[in-house]
Amino acid sequence: MVKHALRVVPPAYFMVIAIFIVGALGIDGYTSTFSIRALLVLSAFLIIASAGQTMTMLIGGIDLSIPFVVGFANVAVAQLGADGVPFWLAVIIVMFISIALGAFNGAISAFLKVHPLIITLGTGTALLGSVLLWTRGYPSGSAPDYISNFVSIGASIGPVPVPWLVPATLVLVVLLLLFENQTALGRQVFALGSNPTAAPYVLIKPLRIWMFCFGLSAALAALTGVLLLGFSGAAFADAGRPYLFQTVAAAVIGGTALSGGKGGILGTVAGALALTQLNTVLIGFGLDQSAVQAALGALIVLVVALYGRQAHLRNSI
């Protein structure tokens, strides 16, 4: 039996290699230690946030609350710290609220049988708006030094020239791979996405799986927000804005189907690396941000067109 997580479309990995070669040949310093370090750190943030998006897409959903949860976590942890709450307790509080919101999104979507696009957009906007009301739009506070060192591009693990964020992200990817391949719940995620109509007849509980996937997505988005606080050094409500587009794009480029049941974290890693590299290369070649966005959008259309030619699993059984 072919493992679901290993069903990665090869072009996602060829794309990473091809973009790296273009950057190495066309941009001075692209292959320097600092440049590669920066690439890995920025990709790690995107991988963490996109991992949750991948889980929601595997069951045929999508989570548009991710950028808002990222911003909420970024601001709330900083503000709680400024108000005297210990950092570890602030993280626990923010994670609890985020997971509860994600589980709520999944429950409402599954119970009412409506697409989560509008639900997640609405709840995410409300969440971020609430924290901005609390801080009056001027959040204060910052992350402890050990969080900043954990994600700093300039940090190293002994002789290894990368911060702890990079191997920690690798561990997360391995854990999600094991979840996809080795657990009953992981197999049920793919089964539900492949054929949501038949899933209940084989004792799969859609409500539980939707709550789990959206709760996990919110948890990883909140984690991204906390880590970005350490990276930037200050709270910023719009810290998650780029992830509205990029998390979906990374998953799609990696081969995760918008209709569900196909793809996985291994492909999303390739998609995140490709997106981060492409953004860097295009800026390195002198394109402004508008042109970069247009190029990234064209890439997504091309990839979806190519992947869309493949019959979905539920139509091939």
Distance CA 247, CA 61 (A): 13
What is the pLDDT at residue 4? 43
pLDDT in tens, 224-282: 999 999 998 888 888 998 898 899 989 998 888 888 888 899 999 999 999 999 989 98
Closest CA to 41 of 244, 276, 289: 276
What is the pLDDT at residue 308? 52
CB atoms within 10 A of CB 243: 27
What is the pLDDT at residue 165? 96
What is the pLDDT at residue 141? 83
pLDDT in tens, 152-182: 998 888 888 899 999 999 999 999 999 998 9
What is the pLDDT at residue 105? 96
Distance CA 141, CA 84 (A): 10
What is the pLDDT at residue 304? 66
Distance CA 52, CA 219 (A): 8
What is the pLDDT at residue 306? 67
**From the candidate CATH numbers 1.10.3470, 3.30.420, 1.10.10, 1.20.1300, the one assigned to the domain spanning 4-308:** 1.10.3470
Q: What is the pTM of this model?
A: 0.91
CB-based burial of residue 266 (10 Å sphere; 0-12 exposed, 13-18 middle, 19+ buried)?
buried
Distance CA 159, CA 156 (A): 7
Residue written as tokens 């509080």?
93
Distances (CA, A) of 48 to 134, 139, 222, 274, 295: 27, 24, 10, 15, 24
Parse the chain into domains and list their residue ranges: 4-308
What is the pLDDT at residue 5? 41
Distance CA 302, CA 143 (A): 40
What is the pLDDT at residue 3? 46
What is the pLDDT at residue 310? 52
What is the pLDDT at residue 316? 44
What is the pLDDT at residue 289? 78
In sequence order, what DSSP letters do the residues of 196-255 get, joined into one string? TTTGGGGT--HHHHHHHHHHHHHHHHHHHHHHHHHHHSS--GGGGTTHHHHHHHHHHHTT
Ranges in the chain, pLDDT < 70: 1-10, 304-317
In one letter, which amino acid is 86? P
What is the pLDDT at residue 309? 52
Distance CA 260, CA 55 (A): 9
Closest CA to 6 of 189, 306, 314, 266: 266
